[in-house]
């Protein structure tokens, strides 16, 4: 049974890279009948954003990733961190460092000038037979951990296999700032250890942090979890994903008309695969996912693929679900007597819920203008007479017109009688009913609107001779 977590920092909104990490962690915990926890890393009080914190929880609720237990907030665990910092100080595994910022900057500049890797030089590190400098007045010290001076830090990464870090690359890093606040690497290690994490799935931008965290695990005698470092999501050009490319707040995807199933399906494939399969239900993800199969190379964001997936889910979820989702966009269909027919017709072409709403409104809303290009192309000298005759046919058969097939039954003989080509009749009707030439089947539109509304819209177009402004 795997115990995993997702631990975002509320300094910004949850983006899709973070959601993918959360999804992988969720799937592995649920597949193994383990535990998935949510932890908010909010110790950076100056950068915390309460709205972003709320948005993280809102995003989890929207996509349906349920977590176990209550949300853990690091800001409420400061006493725990300070206890372990003191333990390391008492055991001689950490020490106070009084080097000022100016001294650290000067040291860094000197090392860079000598083409050396910038690192703390151990000035305040206690050693046998070493005399430490005199403690300066007015300097609040930081706490540094004693990292190994030599050897190799080794761990097995579930994605990248064996990883080795030379201890010379890991200096005595700070675990508590001068104001007493513990640092990121320290609190993450303490939390993961005390929350019994068995598997830590995170972005590969944390890879270098892992060596430091292992130093802390070993200094405190904690078991080291299994790490999986997931490659980043790049834009189609292979560069870091930006907002323009799709690195949006997760809730922006809801606002743009995506279904959560489509977004999760899209994200699970950005770094993991099961042969050539593209469509995955949550049940299939849970059955098939294994972090050992996460790709070693970065994935590329593909908006066309996301739109394709979203169109698939729009077509395949229930109409009741679509009607509920459309309420978010102020499109209310519940109670409409043609709801099923309307959704069945419009969802076939929609890639997003916004497109679905627009298609629905194009049918339901009375046109306020007619497309100029369409009227010039399809409204000819005899069009008005043809439509007047067609309205008369509708009136004569109005008691028999209910379904699309009923309208088709009377229209085909009309076309033959007047020796028309289909666009000569259907495009003017489509313009009269919706204002434009791009719309679904005329028969379906008429069945949805009903005979009286169809006649009304046709007569309005006839009366103004399809003038653009009504």
Q: Which of 272, 328, 338, 278 is nearest to 308 (CA)?
A: 278
Q: Which residue has the higher pLDDT, 206 or 247?
A: 206
pLDDT for 204 equals 92
Q: Which residue has the higher pLDDT, 53 or 164?
A: 164
Tell me the pLDDT band of 372, cut-offs 50, 70 and 90.
Answer: very high
239 pLDDT above the threshold of 90: no
226 is catalytic: no
Q: Which of 216, 184, 178, 173 is nearest to 11 (CA)?
A: 184
Distance (Å) of CA 252 to CA 55, 139, 187: 11, 46, 31
Q: Which residue has the higher pLDDT, 49 or 281?
A: 281
pLDDT for 9 equals 87
148 pLDDT above the threshold of 90: yes
469 pLDDT above the threshold of 70: no
Q: Which of 470, 396, 408 is nearest to 442 (CA)?
A: 408
pLDDT for 470 equals 45
65 pLDDT above the threshold of 90: yes
Tell me the pLDDT band of 129, cut-offs 50, 70 and 90.
Answer: confident
- Looking from the CA of 462 toward its CB, the CA atoms found within 13 Å total 18
240 pLDDT above the threshold of 90: no
Exactly one of 110, 243, 385, 412 is catalytic; name it. Answer: 243
Q: Which of 413, 417, 407 is nearest to 453 (CA)?
A: 407
Q: What percent of the chain has pLDDT over 90?
A: 81
Residue numbering of the annotated binding site for ATP: 243
pLDDT for 173 equals 96
Residue numbering of the annotated binding site: 243
pLDDT for 101 equals 87
Distance (Å) of CA 116 to CA 107, 146, 202, 253: 11, 21, 30, 45
Average pLDDT over residues 392-421: 94
Q: What percent of the chain has pLDDT over 70?
A: 97
- Which tens digits make up the pLDDT trace of 292-351? 999 999 999 999 999 999 999 999 999 999 999 999 999 999 888 899 999 999 999 999
pLDDT for 241 equals 75
Whether 159 contacts 229, CB under 8 Å: yes
């Amino acid at each position: 049974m795997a115990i995993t977590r997702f631990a975002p920092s509320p300094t910004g909104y949850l983006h899709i890279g973070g959601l993918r990490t959360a999804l992988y962690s969720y799937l592995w915990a649920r597949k193994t009948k383990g535990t998935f926890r949510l932890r908010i890393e909010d110790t950076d009080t100056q950068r915390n954003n309460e709205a972003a914190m709320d948005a993280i929880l809102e995003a989890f609720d929207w996509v349906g990733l349920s977590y176990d237990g209550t949300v853990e907030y690091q800001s409420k665990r400061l006493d725990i961190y300070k206890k372990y910092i003191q333990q390391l100080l008492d055991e001689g595994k950490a020490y106070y460092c009084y080097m000022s910022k100016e001294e650290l900057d000067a040291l860094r500049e000197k090392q860079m000038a000598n083409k050396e890797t910038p690192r703390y030089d151990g000035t305040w590190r206690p050693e046998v037979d070493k005399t430490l400098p005199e403690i300066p007045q007015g300097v609040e010290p930081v706490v540094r951990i004693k990292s190994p001076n030599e050897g190799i830090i080794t761990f097995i990464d579930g994605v990248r296999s064996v990883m080795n870090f030379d201890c010379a690359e890991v200096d005595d890093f700070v675990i508590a700032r001068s104001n007493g606040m513990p640092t990121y690497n320290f609190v993450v290690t303490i939390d993961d250890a005390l929350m019994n994490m068995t598997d830590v799935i995170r972005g590969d931008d944390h890879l270098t942090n892992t060596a430091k965290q292992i130093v802390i695990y070993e200094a405190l005698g904690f078991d080291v979890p299994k790490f999986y470092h997931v490659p980043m999501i790049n834009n189609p050009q292979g560069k870091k994903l930006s907002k323009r490319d799709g690195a949006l707040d997760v809730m922006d995807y809801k606002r743009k008309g995506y279904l959560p199933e489509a977004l999760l399906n899209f994200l699970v494939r950005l770094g993991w695969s099961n042969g050539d399969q593209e469509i995955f239900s949550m049940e299939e993800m849970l059955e098939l996912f294994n972090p050992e199969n996460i790709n070693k190379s970065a994935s590329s964001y593909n908006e066309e693929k996301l739109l394709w997936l979203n169109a698939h889910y729009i077509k395949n979820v229930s109409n009741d679900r679509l009607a509920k989702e459309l309420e978010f966009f102020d499109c209310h269909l519940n109670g409409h007597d043609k709801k099923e027919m309307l959704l069945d017709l419009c969802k076939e072409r929609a890639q997003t819920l916004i497109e679905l709403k627009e298609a629905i409104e194009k049918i339901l809303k009375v046109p306020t203008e007619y497309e100029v290009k369409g009227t010039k192309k399809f409204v000819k000298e005899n069009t008005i007479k043809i439509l007047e005759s067609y309205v008369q046919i509708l009136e004569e058969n109005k008691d028999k017109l209910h379904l699309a097939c009923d309208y088709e039954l009377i229209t085909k003989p009309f076309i033959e009688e007047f020796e028309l080509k289909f666009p000569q009749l259907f495009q003017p009707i489509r313009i009269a009913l919706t204002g434009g030439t791009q719309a679904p089947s005329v028969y379906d539109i008429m069945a949805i609107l009903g005979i009286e509304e169809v006649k009304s819209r046709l007569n309005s177009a006839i009366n103004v001779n399809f003038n653009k402004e009504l």
